[in-house]
Amino acid sequence: MASKKLFFPFETMIKTPSKDDRTPLIYYGGKSRDADWIISNFPAGWSTLVDVFGGGGAISFRVGMRGKTIVYNDIGNVCHFMKILRNHGDELYRRLYFTPYSRQVFEAARDNWPAKMVGYKNETDEEKRLEYGLEWARQWYVTVSQGYTHEEYSDSWKNTATVNCAESVANHVDDLPRFVDRLRRMVIENTDFAKVIPQYDRPETLFYCDPPYMHDTRVSTGNYENEMTAERHIELLLSIKNVKGQVVLSGYSHSLYEEQLKGWRRVSKSAKSSIQNLSSMDGRGDKTEVLWIKEHAHGLWSSANVS
């Protein structure tokens, strides 16, 4: 009698993916909700998009790829997740597929993923290193997707009486196979903006920059593993002002940005906080997202989309 298989084959697992071009990463500061608005303000005439602070990949995975080169860059843990997903997507997907939406699972993942990352970086045995990497990626993904604020060090598990959080996360997980296929066609960088910008700078390049916002425009700081000082923001602004390519920069209004980017096209959009029921506790509320756009030309048929 043939032995019963414990798991389904990867290609036959039941999947209910959502949108063809939506990132499956629910990540703090991600631009999933504003991706269409941001892309609608991209200038024309580019053939290479460099997502300088790629984060959860909302823009890299939303923008059309036909005839384009997409460069995803991030120096944080998202890039490590991308690489493991690209190289071992079937096994990582299998593990996440069978991971329940559970407070106990979330708390264990939150408490243990940093140690798994240490093992992944330091282990010399390839088989053990792969196991560290896969479990790190699973636990890290559980933490950011099931955490209330979707941060790497989320304290609270997200659970509400009005939204089926488990179904939402399951749908994101089911997007992973298509995500892997798209990753195969993208360039992945893992380097500082000061290096990646000059490396890809040419007239046909569009740089999309979504850095950690200036500290004094945010309710809380320390939300990202790689925060940016005011000095580094100045370094970024000076760099993008002098590129040959075009630039779209996201942020909240700040005197430094407004002064340095005079003459750039500026559009804005008001949006409610993604965690509205914490607003009364920590001051989160409506925010106005701003795009500063450096373009070769702003044609008659371009839309400013100001709201």
Entry pTM: 0.76
Per-residue model confidence as pLDDT tens for the chain (307 residues)? 444 444 444 555 555 544 456 666 776 555 667 888 999 999 999 999 999 998 878 888 888 887 889 998 887 788 888 889 889 988 999 999 999 999 999 999 999 999 999 999 999 999 999 999 999 999 999 998 998 877 887 788 988 888 899 998 998 898 888 788 788 888 989 899 999 999 999 999 999 999 987 756 545 444 445 668 889 999 999 999 999 999 999 988 888 999 999 999 999 988 665 544 444 344 445 678 899 999 997 654 444 433 3
Give, to the nearest 10 degrees, the angle between helix 193-200 and helix 230-241. Answer: 0
Residue 248 buriedness (CB in 10 A; 0-12 / 13-18 / 19+): buried
Asked if 155 and 275 touch (Cβ cutoff 8 Å), the reply is no
DSSP letters along 114-136, please? HHHHHHHHH--SHHHHHHHHHHH
Q: In the chain, what are the domains?
A: 28-76+190-297 (3.40.50.150), 88-180 (no CATH)
CA angle 151, 152, 155 (to 5 degrees): 70
